Amino acid sequence: MGWSGREAAPLGVFARRASAFADALLALLARVRRVRIAVLNGVNLDVLDRRDATHYGGLTLSDLESRIYAWSKEFECTTRCRQTNHEGQFIDWCHDALDWADGVILNPGAWSHYSYAIRDAVELFKAPVVEVHLSKIEAREEWRRVSVIGDLATKRVSGEGPEGYRTAIEFLASKR
Ligand code: DQA
């Protein structure tokens, strides 16, 4: 049995329309909301400018982070950069990012090659994870060619220098 314009619509019809409207609104909000990105740099990246410039380019961590923030702005993301030399701190920040980040960029430095504790933390992410290395780890010493988080990463970037972080941000922004 149908209902004419004059009669009151059954409650179920209103409920379905309201729910479809709410779904459309939520989908729209998800598209316009800025993607939140956690950037975690690990051990020895605080002294980037003192390390071998042929691999790391000679820029300071602060230069690198300024570029990351500029690229985030370009891709309309909200980004938080952190660096630590302490593995437990790095893991705590991974746990923290579980609660708010839409995407994660990780450069754990040398931990990438052997830290199963960091691997276990990375395994918890449901959000996409991009593993970034400034240098081309695949073309360096044997021990650097192994990454214990590599198979967990949604995307891996190495050998692009600072631009690798731009590639990562662009990738995460495209996932919104
Ligand atoms: C690095 C590569 C690692 O092998 C190294 O231990 C680093 C930096 C990179 O960004 O190229 O500390 O992760």
Q: Which CATH architecture has domain 34-173?
A: 3-Layer(aba) Sandwich (3.40)
Q: For 13-47, how does the pLDDT look when each residue is reduced to its tens digit (9 = 90+)? A: 888 888 888 888 877 776 678 999 999 999 999 99
If one compares 122 and 10, the residue with the highest pLDDT of the two is: 122
Helices 61-74 and 163-173, packing angle to 10 deg: 30
Q: Ligand 1 — pocket residues by CB below 6 A?
A: 44, 107, 109-110, 112, 133-135, 137, 144
**Closest to 106 (Cα-Cα) out of 118, 116, 96:** 118
| Residues that are catalytic | 56, 133
Whether 91 has a pLDDT exceeding 60, the answer reads yes
Helix, strand and coil content of the chain, in percent to the nearest 5, comes to: 50, 15, 35
In this prediction, residue 36 carries a pLDDT of 98
What residue spans define the domains of the chain?
Answer: 1-32, 34-173
